[in-house]
Chains A and B, each alone.
Chain A
């Protein structure tokens, strides 16, 4: 760690699983690459730096021209301040309309869409259900939601790996979910980025399926730390795969002691009742809080 420039050792590392040897991916253990692409090398003695920044030392050229005076401006702002403001607006919009907005997040293939199809079929008699679909491309999932009986808007993020609060704002402007309804937001399949972006949802649900690794909560801690509920899906397949359900749940609690866990199979319907009861309870809570 270099005290003067603040850049720690590079997080880019290589691990040999045979030997356990870990190597940072820089040519020289004392040298590292700055975020701006400049390299510099650290002396073993912490107080003797050998910087080679091409963006500094402009005073060397002072005899040729006067350098423009430079002033430092303090900003101290959250980088995602704009997203957070848009999320707050969405949250207020939902709250005033007593809408329960649930952000569903998982890796691709964990069964978000299948779960939503079954959930819509079960809820639509008693509730107004709306779906906002996020995918990088295609409207296949939006079409499945529509077929299942819920009005849906699909957002294709193109290169983007997550939905953000502004996309959601535009999505709900198009979808116009009714007062007192339940809005499911199916985020882009990704266990990393969506956890960073607050959308203004009331609840966050992370879905983990038994066809994935049971240590995923440890590998992707941000997602499970940010979630209110973890759904362990595809439990009908558990006997056929090496997935330790208790271990997965213990790992989820390790990164987030407050996370609730429900086990179910969206395909067979096993355990789905408990998920529907959870939705009902959260919906009641959100409606009760609307005018508090």
Chain B
């Protein structure tokens, strides 16, 4: 389950940048040759997101070429 470690990496970055704002969506790029399964990653993401700014956020996985593993962007709710 290396997806769990990948999910932790995503959440750490997102949580740190969110600075308390609620995260709606996280967009990641996962290379087809990276041996990371999108299904297992989504499962792990939900587990790790609990209690963080990304709790309940949608993980949007973009499949790309190569071995890329990037957090591309995220959508946060700004205080109205």
Interface residues of A (CB under 8 A from B): 5-8, 11-12, 33-38, 53, 55, 66, 68-83, 159-162, 164, 192-193, 195-197, 221-222
Summarize A's interface: helix, strand, loop or mixed: loop
Q: Which of A35, A37, A68, A75 contacts B77 (CB 8 A)?
A: A68
Contact A35 B33 (CB under 8 A): no
In the complex, what residue of chain A is closest to B80 when comparing beta carbons? A68
Contact A68 B63 (CB under 8 A): no
In Å, the complex CA distance between A53 and B24 comes to 13
Give 10 A-B pairs besides A7-B62, A160-B4, A161-B2 with Cβ atoms closer than 8 angstroms. Answer: A35-B38, A35-B42, A36-B59, A69-B77, A76-B70, A77-B13, A81-B9, A82-B12, A159-B1, A196-B69
Closest Cβ–Cβ distance, residue A108 to chain B (whole Å): 16
In Å, the complex CA distance between A37 and B61 comes to 11
Contact A75 B69 (CB under 8 A): no
* Contact A71 B59, CB 8 Å, known A79-B6, A83-B9: no
Contact B5 A222 (CB under 8 A): no
Q: Which residue, B5, B59, B71, B74, has most C-beta atoms of chain A within 10 A?
A: B5
Residues on A with C-beta less than 8 A from B62 are 6-7
Contact B78 A69 (CB under 8 A): yes
Contact A8 B71 (CB under 8 A): no
Interface residues of B (CB under 8 A from A): 1-2, 4-6, 9-10, 12-14, 17, 22, 24-25, 28, 32-39, 41-42, 45, 58-64, 67, 69-80
Summarize B's interface: helix, strand, loop or mixed: mixed
Residues on A with C-beta less than 8 A from B73 are 72-76
The contact sample of 12 A-B pairs, CB cut-off 8 A, is: A6-B63, A8-B63, A35-B42, A69-B77, A72-B73, A73-B73, A75-B14, A82-B12, A162-B5, A195-B35, A196-B36, A196-B69
Closest Cβ–Cβ distance, residue B10 to chain A (whole Å): 6
Residues on A with C-beta less than 8 A from B75 are 70-73
Q: Which of B32, B34, B59 contacts A196 (CB 8 A)?
A: B34
Q: Which of A55, A76, A161, A196 contacts B58 (CB 8 A)?
A: A55
In Å, the complex CA distance between A160 and B2 comes to 7
Contact B6 A68 (CB under 8 A): no
Contact A160 B76 (CB under 8 A): no
Contact A75 B59 (CB under 8 A): no
Contact B24 A80 (CB under 8 A): no
Q: Which of B33, B71, B79 contacts A75 (CB 8 A)?
A: B71
Contact A75 B17 (CB under 8 A): yes
Residues on B with C-beta less than 8 A from A55 are 24-25, 58
Residues on A with C-beta less than 8 A from B9 are 79-83
Contact B69 A222 (CB under 8 A): no
Contact A75 B78 (CB under 8 A): no
In Å, the complex CA distance between A66 and B62 comes to 30
Residues on B with C-beta less than 8 A from A68 are 22, 77-80
Residues on B with C-beta less than 8 A from A78 are 69-70
* Contact A80 B71, CB 8 Å, known A11-B37, A35-B59, A160-B1: no
* Contact A192 B2, CB 8 Å, known A7-B62, A77-B71: yes
Residues on B with C-beta less than 8 A from A164 are 5
